[in-house]
Chains A and B, each alone.
Chain A
Amino acid sequence: MRKFVLNRLLQIIPLLLGISLLSFLVTRLAPGDPTALFIDPNIDPLELARVRANWGLDQPIFIQYLVWLKNALLLDFGRSYTTGLPVITEIGERLPMTLLLMISSFILTLLITIPVGVISAVKKNSWFDNLFTFISFAGMAIPTFWLGLMLMLVFSVKLHWLPAVGNLALPLITMTIGSLAGLTRYQRGAMLEVLNQEYIRVARAKGLPERVVIFKHALRNALLPTITILGLSLPDLFGGAFVIETIFAWPGMGRLGVQAIFQRNYPTIMGIVMLSAILIIVGNLLADIAYAIVDPRIRYEKK
């Protein structure tokens, strides 16, 4: 197990290097530059050139990358062009808010997905199953920004139950509905498949109570696909946070990222990309480890 984890950790290094080079090139090759937004007729373009040079943007792109990489290895991600703050500080102020939103949505999703998936599978085609099938498809079909605005109109403007902006409740609900939709389907499918396995029939034939059959024998195996999907859905959660944070004025990292992209604020974009990459890689690693724990057959790369 230790060797397995170590191996995976070593693979991360070239992966991160590749991500950094690729995203550095993509952000720089996008048309526009951070001073292009100052289209004020009172500003002399020479001043913009001076500011660009102060930021080192007059250097060849490859040199800029090497400088960035050298500093990044020393955990210095530069300073934001717009705020003058170190990127680390800037992200540090915002990451906890994004994690709060993501983790609470993650937990809420799990708490709902597992029982709903199990009940839907056990009581296939019941009203309960049909209801959640409907909700899932609706959840997948509705765009997040629209759902968010509708929730605001109903709960904030009409009912005055929840604040529209700067409160956890509405963004959490919106985000959870979004990720719930697909996941309950997966859980239901996996559970159905396991319930048709021979060992379940054997367990039932042995006369074990139904509760034990379902929760001890079936669920444990049916959790595998859910864990995988959860690990893989981390990037989606980040992507969703970009939209949700903007709509609900939630001061997280997603909104910082959106703004940085529009402003071509390169140091901040790179900082957020690298941090997201690390979080996603770690998420996937944890999913793999959880996998190996749940199912002892899966200990990869064993010769």
Chain B
Amino acid sequence: MAIAMDFDQEGILRSSLNGEVSILNPVLSTDNISSAVEGAIFNGLITFNEKLEVIPELAASWQASKDGKTWTFNLRRDVFWHDGRPFTSEDVVFTYNAILNPKVNSVRRSDYIINGQPIKFKALDKYTVQAVLPVPFAPFLVRMGMGIVPKHLLGGKDLNTASFNRRPVGTGPFIFKEWTSGDHVTVVRNPKYFLGAPKLAGIKYKMIADDNSQLVALEADEIDEAGIPPKDYERMKKKAGIKVYDYDVLLYIYLGFNLANPKFADLRVRQALAYATDKKQLVDLIFKGLASPASAPTAPISWAYNSNVPKYEYNPERAKKLLKEAGVNSLEFTILVNQGNKEREKAAVILQQQYKKVGVNVKVRVMEWSALLKIVNAPKDPKEFEAVIMGWSLGLDPDAYSIWHSSQYPAGFNFVKYSNKKVDRLLDQGRLTTDKNERKKIYAKIWQEIAADQPYIFLWYPKALTGIRDRVGGLSKPGPAGLFVHLEKVFIRNAQVRP
């Protein structure tokens, strides 16, 4: 044969990232672009399946003590680091202690501090780890998915500046191979992976920051995978060679009111605006059906979702009446939106039209993201911030303490200054209760209270849209966890991969 076939090149998944990888160390990374690559290289004690249920990964099993404070994890004994060293309980303890070390610039530290006290991690033997919590804490287990890093390579080093962060060594299905700054990261298959050798030869993550360019690269068959903006959905669906998937994600978009601002202090004003909001028109105009109207601070795919909340169905007459009752003759306010988010910019303009029908004048101010956050998070004067369109990406646990608890203002994420004693109490209770059915009831009550108060008008639940080239197989069932839940099972059709 004249041309030697490079089988390994053939079985490479050409993935794309919507920005730059900054650091490949799960303890330190803060952006979801770096996390996407880390997912191929590292493992956590637990992970999540397609339905976002907790499943074992590095831990084969675990038990919680009766009082819910002591958790024991039994580790797998067949796991090796990519450099050949065995993985042990020392690595787990090292990783969590690194996160808890105040000198390490990890913003994840607060995940492992409960009521001001850190969780204590201890290696009982080579393959058993114990975590002791100060109090029972329901969201604990889902936080055990943190990628574990090797003690033998990082012990005694300054984690913030370690060269490891650029040449990571993990236990995952793929081994780090190269990283060209700003261009791509390549990983190759780990034939000894404990859940079975991957079917791909490797993955090349190409960094393409611009959405349009990413789409062009997908169309030009230079990458296998890209996010699809809603406006391009129909067009891409018709393209030969590309399959477009849409699936629900744990996210909601809202219009938040600054309750510290006298304009929105009266509940009737917020209710009036809720009645004046035609959510169906909003999602039809912007997403053409690829999103659904929202009504509560949760998402339909969350296990704690409950649709039994006050909904304020579109009713402009009712809105006018409520404004009159509240003694508001003329209302004018500014909605802030972040620049570059086309959907939210459109939503602000549509809301402007809708509110005009009930005599409310809205100005739209488009701002750069950091600048917007500054105004919303720490306004010098409550009058500076009136309303904002933003979204919350939800954790796997329904705990929403830092968004809604009255103690989380001003230092916290309750930047609209929501305060409801009943909600405070329920939020505290929700964290301490470990029984899932009990918790479900608690959160249903919380959503009802919040929806009645309308500190936010819940606008829509978005969908993720992803385009994948036909040659890629072995995807997981589309769902909130994405399409690559079992990375080791993904393959390229007709490609032969050397064993």
Contact = CB atoms under 8 A, between A and B. Distances in A.
Contacts of A233: none
Contacts of B212: 149, 247
Interface in B100-127: 102-103, 105, 107-111, 113
A122 to B, nearest CB: 41
Interface in B396-411: 400-403, 411
A246 B210 contact: yes
Interface stretch (B130-138, B213-221, B479-487): B213-221
B165 interface: yes
B392 A156 contact: no
A165 B459 CA distance: 36
A152 B210 CA distance: 13
B370 interface: yes
A165 B208 contact: yes
Interface in B206-234: 206-210, 212-213, 216-217, 219-220, 222
Nearest to B412: A45
B22 A83 contact: yes
A42 B402 contact: yes
Interface in A49-94: 50-51, 54-55, 79-80, 82-85, 90, 93-94
Interface string B174-185: 000000111110
B110 A165 contact: no
A15 to B, nearest CB: 29
Q: Name the residue in A32, A38, A41, A48 with the highest tally of chain B Cβ atoms < 10 Å from its Cβ.
A: A41
A104 interface: no
B411 A46 contact: yes
Interface stretch (B66-74, B259-267, B372-380): B372-380
B182 A31 contact: no
Contacts of A45: 411-412
Contacts of B20: 255-256, 259
A163 B222 contact: yes
Contact of A51 (B107, B219, B369): B107
Interface of B: 19-20, 22-23, 28, 30-31, 102-103, 105, 107-111, 113, 160-162, 165-166, 180-184, 206-210, 212-213, 216-217, 219-220, 222, 368-371, 373-375, 377, 392-393, 395, 400-403, 411-413
Interface of A: 30-33, 35-48, 50-51, 54-55, 79-80, 82-85, 90, 93-94, 97, 149, 152-153, 156-157, 160, 163-166, 246-249, 251-252, 255-256, 258-259, 262-264
Given A149-B212, A249-B208, 17 more contacts: A31-B370, A36-B370, A36-B374, A37-B30, A40-B107, A50-B102, A55-B105, A82-B23, A82-B30, A82-B31, A97-B182, A152-B216, A156-B220, A246-B210, A249-B183, A251-B182, A263-B370
